[in-house]
Structure 1
Amino acid sequence: MAGRQAGQVALSPQARTFLEGQVQRHKAPRSLSDRCRMFLLCAEGLQSKEVAARLGVHEHTVGKWRRRFVEDGIEGLTDEYRAGRPRTVSDAQVTQVIERTLNTTPKDATHWSIRSMAAEIRLSHTTIRRIWSAFGLQ
C-alpha cells in the first residue's frame, strides 16, 4: 500500500545557489542549514525516509518542511510566528505602577517596597519587580 505522494521539490539555479550558500555559511543557524540540506536532498529525488535517515531527523519533520518549501519556496524556510501567552498586565496598569512609584509614598514608610506596591495595586510582587526593572526604578 502506497502512502501519500510527497511534493516534488524543483529548484531554480538561484534557489540552489542560495541553499548551498546557507549550508556552507559558518554563522547560519543550525536549524536553517539543516532545512537547506533537506531541500537539496529532496531536490535530488530522494524520498523523505531516505533524507531523514541521512540527516538523523524524523521523516515527519522532512515531510513538514518539504510541504512548506513546495507551497512557499524559499520563504518557507523560516518558522511561522508563534504568538505565545497573551499579556495579563495592561499598559494602564503599568502606567499606574510607575506613576504611584514616582509620585506617591506609602502612609507608613518613606518609599515603596516591591511588596507594599504589589499589595496596593493588587498585582504580584514579581510583576512589580519586572515593571520596576524594565523602567530602571527601585
Structure 2
Amino acid sequence: MAQRSRIVLECAEGHSIMEVSRRLRIAPDTVRTWRRRFIERGLDGLCDDPRPGVPRKITDADVERVIIKTLEEKPKNATHWS
C-alpha cells in the first residue's frame, strides 16, 4: 500500500512513468497499473482485487482467535507457545 501511494504521489507531482519507475526502482508496468487504477477508482483502486481460485477456508475471525489465544494464554504444562 505504501509503494502504491508513493507511485500515485510521484505521478501527481508530474513525473513520467519512466521517471517514477526509475526513482522507485520498480517496473514501468507496475507504475502504469497503479496509476490507472487510481485514476479509475480513486483510493479504492489501491486495494487488492479479489483473486481467482478456491475461496479461503480460514476466516478473519479464525485468524483473530488464534492470535488472541497465543498472545493472552499459555498452553497447559508450558511456559509459552512455540
Task: Please confirm whether the aligned pair reaches a TM-score higher than 0.5, indicating the same fold.
Answer: yes
Let me know the Cα RMSD of the aligned residues.
1.2
Q: Once the two structures are aligned, what percentage of the paired residues are identical? A: 47
Which of the pair has more CA radius of gyration?
1
Where has structure 1 moved over 3 Å in runs of 4 or more?
Answer: none
Task: Tell me, in whole angstroms, the C-alpha distance in 2 between the residues paired with 1:68 and 1:74.
Answer: 9
2:20 is aligned with 1:51 = yes
Higher relative contact order at CA 8 Å, sep ≥6: structure 1 or structure 2? 2
Aligned length: 55
1:67 maps to amino acid? R
Q: Which runs of 5+ in 1 are unaligned?
A: 1-31, 87-138
After superposition, the C-alpha distances for 1:28-84 in whole angstroms (9 at most, x for unaligned) are: xxxx00000001000000111000101110001000110000000011011110131
- Which residue matches 2:34? 65
Q: Which runs of 5+ in 2 are unaligned?
A: 56-82
* TM-score, scaled to structure 2: 0.63
